[in-house]
Amino acid sequence: MITLPTREFEYSAVITTYQPSQLLRDAINSILQQSITPKEIILVDDCSKDLELADIRNLVPEDIVFIFHSNSQNLGAGCSRNIGVGLSSTSYIIFFDDDDVSLPTRSVIHKEAFQNGASVSYVSSRKNYSNGYQVEYPNSEIQPKVLEPKKLARKLLYGGSYRDSIGDVPSSTLAISKNKFLSIDGFDGSMRRLEDVDLAIRLSLGLASFSWSSTIAVNRTSTFRQDKGGLVETNHEYILLQKYGYLIGWWRKNYAVALITLRSFYFGGTLAKRKWSSLLGLLNPFFILVLLTRFPRFLSRLNHDRQQRKK
């Protein structure tokens, strides 16, 4: 079991950014307003064109170390977080996103999770869209425990129902023991999307102790970019199934492939792509099973997508 000193624990706040908006200032301020402030704030810029570093640096008081690193080329969020962890000097890392705001109690929740034996700690979150649409993602209150990799993979790749024992895994809600993070070589830099899912599965294979808090401690902001969502997301889902399909079994893997195909049909973007997705689906016998068992959930997903895009 991990034992922390009774005094306030030291952690590094690692935040990555790319072409930031005003929200970066809000994210930095939310770090500074934590009930337990970090020893250091590490900002990794992923090759932005115009970053007003002086304005950001002036936000950070002198008693908190500010470390800045700029990538010479765009490497992606996973690689950038790995760089941030490599620059850190503390035993614990809390990850922040440049368009999200964390509530002050977040640091306390992570500290208590580590004191109770966790090496990986997640909080719950709320996602906000520009049109005012909001979605909450509350986890169950889950005490530190080592997870069976098969169950975690089923939850994350197949949609298995383990709500009372496994929560959500966005990187912007994550805090982690630096030693555990380094023991699995951090994020997979080749994953431009869903790198948080990949990390969680590898952490379970590495026998990490996970905990989830039911408290909503991060307000996430939905932003639209060409490298996010749609077919980019489904393509990386295919990659995850290739890597970890053995954990969920043959029929669940094929079922998940059919489900991704159905989503690809919607997110295809052009009529030609949708016809191709439809043909691929017809060649997979599990496609009919998906239509019979998951179609209501798919309709719910479509409604969610329309709500977030409504003006």
- Give the pLDDT confidence of 111-163 residue by residue, as tens digits: 999 999 999 999 999 999 887 888 999 999 999 999 999 999 999 998 877 88
> What are the φ and ψ backbone dihedral angles of 88, each rounded to 5 degrees?
-80, 160
pLDDT band at 233 (very low <50, low <70, confident <90, very high): confident
Asked whether residue 271 carries a pLDDT value surpassing 50, the answer given is: no
Q: pTM of the predicted model, to two decimals?
A: 0.87
pLDDT at 21: 84
Residues 26 and 102: their CA atoms lie apart, in Å, by 9
- Residue 256: predicted pLDDT: 87
pLDDT level of residue 283 (50, 70, 90 thresholds) = low
Per-residue model confidence (pLDDT) at position 114:
98
Determine the Cα–Cα distance for residues 71 and 188; give it in Å rounded to an integer: 17
More reliable by pLDDT, 167 or 227 = 167
* One-character DSSP codes across the chain: -----SSPPP-EEEEEESS--THHHHHHHHHHT-SS--SEEEEEE-S-S---HHHHHHHS-TTSEEEEEE-SS---HHHHHHHHHHH--SSEEEEEETT-EE-TTHHHHHHHHHHTT-SEEEEEEEEE-TTS-EEEEPPP-EEEEEPPHHHHHIIIII----TTT-----GGGEEEEHHHHHHTTSS-TT-SSSHHHHHHHHHHHTTPEEEEEEEEEEEEE----TTSSHHHHHHHHHHHHHHHHHHH-HHHHHHHHHHHHHHHHHHT-SHHHHHHHHHHHHT-THHHHHHHHHHHHHHHHHHHHHHHH--
Averaged confidence pLDDT in the chain:
87
pLDDT at 6: 40
Position 115, amino acid = Q
Non-local (6+) Cβ contacts of 244 within 8 A are 153, 157, 201
pLDDT at 247 over 60: yes
The confidence score (pLDDT) of residue 7 equals 46
Residue 179, C-beta contacts closer than 8 angstroms, at least 6 positions apart? 91, 119
Report, as an integer, the average pLDDT of 292-309: 63
Q: Tell me: the pLDDT tens digits for 249-268?
A: 998 898 888 778 777 766 65
- Domain 12-221 bears CATH identifier 1.10.10.10: no
Query: Residue 278: what pLDDT?
Result: 53
Contacts of 211 (CB under 8 A, 6+ apart): 113, 116, 118, 120, 121, 122, 142, 143, 144, 145
pLDDT of residue 303: 64
Q: 30 or 264: which carries more pLDDT confidence?
A: 30
Q: Which part of the chain is CATH 3.90.550.10?
A: 12-221
Residue 1 pLDDT class (50, 70, 90 cuts): very low
Q: Which residue has the higher pLDDT, 71 or 7?
A: 71
Of residues 299 and 72, more confidently modeled: 72
